[in-house]
């Protein structure tokens, strides 16, 4: 088989477009055109690049075969698996995953070696294998500052009730739910109150805490609410029980520790975009508010919260390059690091999709700390 045929076969096997694959391989701004020429045999990559193409995603870094797990769990609204990783590290086995977004499914499959099931609303609770812990970073758009804050009036908000029906049917020993901080104050607290009420009606404890990524060693000012509960029919606990959330170590963070060197110029924003950012910031300043783009450098302790809309203009996190250069956006790998993903995590999609995926994901070190406490409590309560 020719080099051209091998490159095309590799891309198709991964289910990627030429744009996806070019971005995933770290090719330059016109990488998809270069890849197209390679696939058509019009030109050839050098040997090092060719071998890198064939080796790309040849191993699934988080596909762990665990025949004797300490516990079993399911991963709902899984995104790209950020919540799954810590529980897998603690000896757990994922027995079911659900994620409807086809691009997130692609990233999940490449890293974990399994394709998530699709729309959870179309999956019967009885068809889900038995498990001990339910994990769910359920959709946050209805409650976020970036959204319209409709809450349960938004159909995506009702996806919480999919979690409720699965808990009611399968009776897991415990659950961990994650959402935006704004859930706590949404509708004057009534939305969260409704969620807690429904969970307690199923005979579960339900405790909440807002934890900040920057307090757990990640240079990002990202606050999220975590809801942890245990089955009162399994564990001897009453209404006075409170889950001991992890104490944040508050390790000093520095943005430069996660930034890459010699970043491709394709991440430097254009003159037109930068002029627009400057103009809008000036307009906001004239009105007396602080809105507008945010500039950071390697010595910044942390950034703003990265969001799923980061791909649009990067305004919430721009990196100062000095020397009269326009600032740049974070690279997808830097976004992964900003969320605490190890560099072995494979990014097999276009930059646009990668920004959406990491913006929607979780700060892995925070989940890791909560997961350790959750598993420790399960063992303690069992005794």
From 66, 72, 81, 64, select the one nearest 130 (Cα to Cα).
Answer: 72
CA distance 316 to 147: 16
How crowded is residue 25: how many other Cβ atoms within 10 Å of its Cβ?
A: 18
Buried-state track 90-117, b at ≥16 Cβ within 10 A, e below 16 = bebbbebbbbbbebbbbbbbbbbebebb
DSSP secondary structure string for all residues of 235-259: S---TT----PPPP------GGGTP
CA distance 373 to 174: 12
Torsion of CA 76, 80, 83, 86, to 10 degrees: 130
Inter-residue contact 63 to 113 (CB < 8 Å):
yes
* Furthest CA-CA distance within the chain: 71
Within its chain, how far is the Cα of 16 from the centroid? 20
SS3 (DSSP) at 293: coil
Q: Is 236 designated active site?
A: no
∠ CA 204-205-207, rounded to 5° = 140
From residue 63, how far is each of 81, 88, 257 by CA, in Å? 12, 10, 28
Inter-residue contact 157 to 77 (CB < 8 Å):
no
Give the pair of three-digit tokens for residue 202.
């199923």
Inter-residue contact 29 to 268 (CB < 8 Å):
no
CA distance 342 to 208: 27
Check 94, 140, 236, 335 and give the catalytic one: 140
CA distance 314 to 270: 12
Residues annotated catalytic, as ranges: 140
């Amino acid at each position: 088989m020719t080099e051209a045929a091998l490159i095309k076969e590799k891309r198709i096997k991964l289910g990627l477009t030429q744009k996806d694959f070019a971005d995933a391989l770290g090719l330059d701004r016109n990488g998809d055109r270069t890849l197209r020429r390679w696939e058509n045999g019009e030109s050839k990559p050098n040997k090092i690049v060719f071998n890198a193409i064939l080796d790309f995603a040849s191993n699934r870094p988080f596909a762990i075969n665990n025949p004797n797990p300490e516990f079993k769990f399911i991963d709902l609204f899984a995104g790209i698996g950020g919540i799954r990783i810590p529980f897998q590290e603690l000896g757990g086995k994922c027995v079911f995953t659900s994620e409807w977004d086809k691009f997130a499914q692609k990233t999940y499959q490449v890293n974990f070696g399994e394709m998530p099931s699709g729309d959870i609303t179309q999956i019967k609770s009885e068809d889900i294998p038995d498990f001990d812990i339910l994990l769910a970073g359920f959709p946050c758009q209805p409650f976020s500052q970036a959204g319209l804050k409709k809450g349960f009036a938004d159909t995506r908000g009702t996806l919480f009730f999919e979690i409720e029906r699965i808990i009611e049917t399968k009776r897991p020993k415990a659950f961990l739910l994650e959402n935006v901080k704004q859930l706590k104050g949404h509708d004057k607290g009534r939305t969260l109150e409704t969620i807690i009420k429904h969970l307690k009606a199923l005979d579960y404890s339900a405790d909440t805490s807002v934890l900040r990524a920057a307090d757990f060693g990640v240079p990002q000012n990202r606050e999220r609410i975590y809801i942890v509960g245990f089955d009162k029919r399994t564990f001897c606990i009453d209404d006075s029980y409170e889950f001991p959330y992890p104490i944040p170590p508050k390790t000093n963070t520095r943005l430069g520790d996660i930034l890459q060197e010699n970043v491709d110029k394709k991440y430097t924003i254009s003159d037109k975009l930068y002029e627009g950012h400057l103009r809008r910031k000036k307009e906001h300043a004239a009105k007396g508010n602080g809105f507008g783009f945010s500039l950071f450098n390697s010595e910044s302790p942390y950034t703003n919260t990265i969001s799923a809309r980061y791909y649009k203009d990067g305004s919430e996190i721009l990196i100062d390059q000095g020397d009269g250069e326009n600032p740049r956006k974070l690279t997808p790998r830097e976004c992964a690091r900003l969320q605490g993903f190890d560099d072995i995590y494979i990014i097999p999609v276009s930059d646009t999709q990668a920004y959406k995926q990491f913006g929607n994901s979780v700060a892995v070190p925070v989940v890791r700390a909560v997961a350790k406490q959750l598993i420790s409590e399960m063992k303690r309560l069992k005794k």
